[in-house]
Structure 1
Amino acid sequence: MIQLDSLTKVFDTPKGAVVAADHISMEVSAGEICILLGPSGCGKTTTLKMINRIIRPTSGKVYIDGEDTTGMNTQELRRNIGYVIQQIGLFPNMTIEENITVVPKLLGWDRAHYKERAREMMAMIALEPDAFLKRYPSELSGGQQQRIGVARALAADPPVMLMDEPFGAIDPINRAVIQDEFLKMQQELNKTIMFVSHDIDEAIKMGDRIAVFREGKLVQYSTPDDLLAAPKNAFVESFLGEDRALKRLNLVKVREIVSDDIGTVTPGDTLEKALAKIDDFGYQNSILMINDQRQPAGIITRSVARTTKGYCRDHFQNIPATVNLEDDLRKVASLMFAHDTTWLPCVDDEGRVCGQITQRAMTRHLGSRFRAREGDIREANATTGE
């Protein structure tokens, strides 16, 4: 959907020519989010702005859906590309409805169509249309204004969106909420997005592919998993940080490593039976008790089962936590540390037990993926001479 071919920008300064973007070549497939990542002044924002010609390239070409944009009318080009910036850029003298419908009006939409579109966009960003459409930007919080900025960029349903640190000025709590909402929207909208960020965690969470820049050059262009598993050079490795292996926890879902081999007891089982089942799972010091609907009902510990007589229903402890199949391993690790446990039961969307996840399985999975991915990429680099 987006192709950059040797895109270059040279700025003339009193001290001489400065190369801000140096022969950038890359492709972003339809429906993907590509994150441009790197330190300040590395060329990522310059590259983004050359796509919609806010900055005119010195040389090179931009193709959108296979069409060379060089000869396109600038205003027409921009109307077909959604643009969101960190400063939001809402028009303060316009209502929220007027802000959202700016581009649809320019494109000649009839009044009923663009007003209905404004309501659709408000619903999509989880803001009540009747409560917000007639307000002005100054009457909204920063997080709400940022959502309106996204809605305005999406209003005319552009196939391509450019986002320049769109959530950078928002506090961490609201930032995480808006990121999650945006990813949910993307599953439905399937836009092609180029997204500038300086936040590694945001890039890993949001991106299908990540482009790392340094001093105007594109250093590495990879999936988040490949980037973390096998940085191309020392700069990328240092930029990602020493905890890059831990960052990969965000990329793995529980469903990828859940084991359905989980021992359970019922409230009517004896503690003697519970102890026998715990011994069958020698690396665990407790076993899960489930009810008739196969929902978690409690935990029977080894110490209780060994020293007490009676039934499970009378001697269980509360379950410290459960995880869902769609949770990532970062959440799992956090829960394990918080509750001092090496395993957690996994439940489906109906709350029924479908397996367990263990600390050992997490360590083994991450280690094997890390070594395999690193080996594959080194072999590929050796083949290409990089």
Structure 2
Amino acid sequence: MIRLENLTKVFDTPKGAVVAADHINMEVPSGEICILLGPSGCGKTTTLKMINRIVKPSSGKVFINGDDTTGMDTQDLRRNIGYVIQQIGLFPNMTIEENIAVVPKLLGWDKARYKERARELMHMIALEPDAFLKRYPSELSGGQQQRIGVARALAADPPVMLMDEPFGAIDPINRAVIQDEFLKMQQDLKKTIMFVSHDIDEAIKMGDRVAVFREGKLVQYSSPDDLLAAPKNAFVESFLGEDRALKRLNLVKVAEVVSDEIGTVKPEDTLTTALARIDDFGYQNSILMINDKRQPVGLISRSLARTTKGYCRDHFQNVPATVSLDDDLRKVASLMFAQDITWLPCVDEEGRVCGQITQRAMTHHLGARFRTKQRETSAVAAEPKE
């Protein structure tokens, strides 16, 4: 949907020419989010602004859906590209409804259509239309204003959106909420988005692809997982930080690591039976008790089963936590550390046990990805040079 071909910007300054973007070549497939990441002054915002011509390229081309935008009218180009900035830029003398309807009005939409579109978008960004549409921006919090900025960019249903650190000025709690809501919207909308960020965690969470810039050059362009597993050079590795392996916890779902082998007992089983089954799964110090619907109802510990006689229903501890197949490994690791446990039961949408996840399995899964990339890198380095 977006293709940049040798896109370059040179600024003339009193001290001479400064290359802000140096022959940038990249493609963003339809429906994906591409994060432009890098330190201040690296060229990511300049590259973004050249797409809708807020900054005029010195050379190179921008293609939108296969069309060269070089000869397009600038106003027509911008009306077909949603644009969201950190400063939001809502018109203070307009109501929220009027702010959202700015571009649809310019495109000639009738009143009923743009009013209905405004209400639809308010529901989409989780703000009640009747409570907010007639208000002015000054009557909203910063987080609410940022949501309106996103709604305004979506108003005319553009195929492409450009976002320049849109959530950077919002406090961490509201930022996480808005990021989650935006990703939910994106599942339905499937917009093609270029998104400038300086936050590595945000890039990993939001992006289908991440482009790392340095001093005007595109250094690495890959999926978040490939970026973390195989930084291209020392700069990228340093920029990602020493905890990049932990950052991958956000990218892996429980479904990728879960084992369907899990020992269980019923309430009517004896503690002797429970101990025998714990021994069958020797890496665990407890076993899960389930009811007739395969829902977890308790834990029987090894120490209890060794020293006590009777039935499981009379001697159990509460299940400290469960996880679902859609949860990511960061949540799993947090629960394990908080509860001082090395495994957790996994449940389906009906709360039925469908397997377990262990610290050992998580460590192996994450390590295997790094080892694979290291072998691939070593193999390339070992190839004879012509």
Per the TM superposition, whether the score is higher than 0.5 is: yes
- Over 3 Å counting, the alpha-carbon distance change for 1:171 and 1:280 in structure 2 is same
Aligned to 2:280: 280
Alpha-carbon distance in structure 2 between the residues aligned to 1:306 and 1:84: 62
Give 1:382 shift: 7.2
Shift of 1:292: 1.5
- For 1:318, the equivalent position in structure 2 comes to 318
Q: Secondary structure at the match of 2:187?
A: helix
Taking a change above 3 Å as real, the CA distance of residues 330 and 114 of structure 1, as seen in their structure-2 partners, is: same
Q: Where in structure 2 are the equivalents of 1:18-57 lying within 5 Å?
A: 18-57=18-57
The structure-2 alpha-carbon separation of the partners of 1:352 and 1:164, relative to structure 1 and needing over 3 Å to count, comes to: same
Between the aligned partners of 1:125 and 1:91, the Cα distance in structure 2 is 19
Tell me what 1:219 maps to: 219
Aligned residue for 1:117?
A: 117
CA distance 1:145–1:298, shift in 2 (3 Å): same
Partner of 1:350 in structure 2? 350
Q: Which residue of 2 aligns with 1:129?
A: 129
Cα offset, 1:371, TM superposition: 1.2
Cα offset, 1:378, TM superposition: 5.5
CA distance in 2, matches of 1:384, 1:143: 55
Aligned to 1:206: 206
Q: Secondary structure at the match of 1:212?
A: strand
Q: In the TM superposition, what is the alpha-carbon distance from 1:384 to its structure 2 partner?
A: 12
RMSD across aligned positions (CA): 1.3
The one-character-per-residue Cα deviations of 1:130-163 (angstroms, maximum 9, x if unpaired) are: 0110001111111111110000000100000000
Query: Aligned residues, how many?
Result: 385
Q: Which runs of 4+ in 1 moved over 2 A?
A: 373-385
Residues 361 and 93 of structure 1, relative CA distance in 2, 3 Å threshold: same
Partner of 1:328: 328
Q: Distance in 2 between matches of 1:376 and 1:150?
A: 41
Q: Secondary structure at the residue paired with 1:62?
A: strand
Structure 2 unmatched runs, 5+: none
CA distance in 1, matches of 2:328, 2:384: 34
Structure 1: any 5+ residue segments left out of the alignment? none
Q: How far did residue 98 of structure 1 move?
A: 0.4
Displacement after TM superposition at 1:69 (Å): 0.3
- What's the secondary structure of 1:92's corresponding residue? coil
Q: Deviations over 1:4-35 (max 9, x none)?
A: 00101011111111110011110000001000
The whole-number CA distance in structure 1 between the counterparts of 2:130 and 2:378 is 56
Q: Post-superposition shift, 1:369?
A: 1.4
Cα distance in 1, alignment partners of residues 382 and 236 from structure 2:
18
- The percent identity for this pair of structures is 85
Q: Does residue 1:184 correspond to 2:180, yes or no?
A: no
In structure 1, C-alpha distance between the alignment counterparts of 2:218 and 2:247, rounded to whole Å: 22
Q: Deviations over 1:32-72 (max 9, x none)?
A: 10000000000000000000000000110000000000000
1:349 maps to amino acid: E
Distance 2:375 2:321 in 1: 36
Which residue matches 2:82?
A: 82
Please identify, of 175-184 and 369-378, the stretch whose mean Cα deviation from structure 2 is larger: 369-378
Change (3 A) 1:91 1:324: same
- Deviation string 1:69-107 (CA, Å, 9 cap, x unpaired) is 000000000000000000111111100000011000100
Spell out the pairing of 1:102-181 with structure 2 (5 A cutoff): 102-181=102-181
TM-score of the superposed pair, with normalisation by structure 2: 0.98
How many angstroms apart in 2 are the aligned matches of 1:349 and 1:217?
46
How far the C-alpha of 1:383 sits from its partner, in A, is 7.1
Alignment-derived partner of residue 372 in structure 1: 372
Name the SS for the 1:278 alignment partner. Answer: helix
